[in-house]
Amino acid sequence: MMTQHDVASQALHDPGLIEEVQFLEHWIQLGPTQTGWVSFVARQGRRPTILLAPDRETLIAEAHKLIKRRIAERR
């Protein structure tokens, strides 16, 4: 029987594929998967939000939107 890998498995099992970017006091960790890209977005000491996108550029744009929305909600 074949096992089906979860969407984040490729990025999580090969740390060399994971990038880290800081944006407005948040960390974005992102990497490729078998079906697109996955990111984990969080502030220091907070639980991450997982985002999925078909490509790196879309993923970063969506992460930036999420972070800006979170900051606006805190005000």
**pLDDT value at residue 4:** 47
25-72 pLDDT, tens digit each: 999 999 998 889 999 999 989 999 999 999 999 999 999 999 999 999
SS3 content of the chain, % helix, strand, coil (to 5): 35, 30, 30
How do the domains of the chain map onto residue ranges? Answer: 9-74
**Cβ contact 11:38 at 8 Å:** yes
**Cβ contact 53:37 at 8 Å:** yes
